[in-house]
Structure 1
Amino acid sequence: MRKNSTRASRLLDSGGLWELSLKLLGARACTMGELRAKLRLKAAAAQDVETTIARLKSCGYLDDRRFAESFTAARLENQGLGKRRVIQDLRKHRIAPALAETTVQKTYETVDEVGLIESYIRRKFHRSGVGALFAHEKDLASAYRRLLRAGFGGGNIIRVLKRFAANPDLVDQFEEEPQNEGDG
């Protein structure tokens, strides 16, 4: 049997937290909230965590605004996701809600959501052919839910699905959401 090591022996001082934070940031970009949570688990003293975070910020290694901007741009360009989904993902990464909102609004200000939805449909539903896929009510409902999860506005989803549906009248039964800033 292995000898049980105590938690106190694994706790890190300020220097150890600095090394750990550099290792974590070298492996993957982190937000202040994510890094703070990881460091708190290893810190011998709580004030060492805040000191380390402040030092990382002053050196330019940790910047939530830069993280949010690159994350948002990557989600738009690589995955073609809607505003709501990107905001939700940023919040999961512990980005401040106001920063998440402003970053996403800035990145998506020139994006045509209808075009983005059409592109998403062509990319994600290409296997069975769009016409065949949207021939039945259950398939339209499934596509509608999937597009909502991808962060698109309900009104724009309905407009696009009407164009792709074999029977556009089936789309009329979906409940339109109130127009939000994400709907174009």
Structure 2
Amino acid sequence: MRRLRRRCIKTETGEALPSAPLTPEERRHRTFQRAIKLLAAKSRSVAELRELLLQTRGATVKVVDEVLARLRKYGYLDDGRFAFGYASLKLRQRPLGRQRLKRDLAMKKVDKTVIDEALDLVFAEVSEEEQIDRAIEKRTRVRGRPKNRAQAKSLFDHLMRQGFPFELIAEKVRAASKTDLDDDI
């Protein structure tokens, strides 16, 4: 972890005195620079960024709110765009259900209405049924098709943790198990 350098003023004898407190303009500038740095590393929700900025030394609630308003004005901060991008990326990386994405975005402190709008847009492009088929295919590639009730339950539980709806899981697991039983006959 790197150390923060403190600005020091040296006296005639060479002793270092701590610098004067930051002016409001310096606080705003430092907080803005920190916000830009945090957003450059990865996109964040408004609440997530607010929380991180308030942990910064010298940042006050008023300064952070001004910085967030400025970032919104420039188009750098938008919860709707963040939620859509986050959900799209997660679905490209691995198959997930609507409930899992909703829970993940809620943990990122995105508003529920914004989450619902973003997920509606994402699942308009890719259906949840396609996602569950991908998840089952991926799981069966590694572990094989469920051969007994315990393996079917394991697959069912896995899909529940991934956030898929109960009815869809039951239908797909039943179909996957039935296919295997039909092959044995």
Fold agreement, TM-score > 0.5: yes
2:163 maps to which of 148, 151, 170: 151
Q: CA deviation at 1:99?
A: 0.5
Q: What TM-score does the superposition give when structure 1 sets the normalisation length? A: 0.77
Matched residue pairs, number? 157
Q: CA deviation at 1:77?
A: 2.7
1:117 maps to which of 132, 135, 141: 132
Q: Which segments of 5 or more consecutive residues in structure 2 lack a partner in the other structure?
A: 1-5, 7-20
Q: CA deviation at 1:167?
A: 5.2
Aligned in 2, Cα 1:44/1:76: closer, same or farther, shift over 3 Å?
closer
Contact 1:114 1:157 survives alignment (8 Å): no
Aligned in 2, Cα 1:126/1:34: closer, same or farther, shift over 3 Å?
same
Partner residue in 2 for 1:24? 38
- Equivalents in 2 of 1:90, 1:124: separation in Å? 25
Aligned alpha-carbon RMSD (Å): 2.2
1:71 aligns with 2:86: yes
Provide the identity percentage: 24
Q: CA deviation at 1:13?
A: 1.5
1:139 maps to which of 118, 131, 151: 151
Q: Which of structures 1 and 2 has the bigger CA Rg?
A: 2
Partner residue in 2 for 1:39? 53
- Equivalents in 1 of 2:181, 2:129: separation in Å? 19
Q: Which segments of 5 or more consecutive residues in structure 1 lack a partner in the other structure?
A: 169-184
Deviations 1:4-62 (A, max 9, x none): x9xxx89x821110111111111111110110000111143220010010011111111
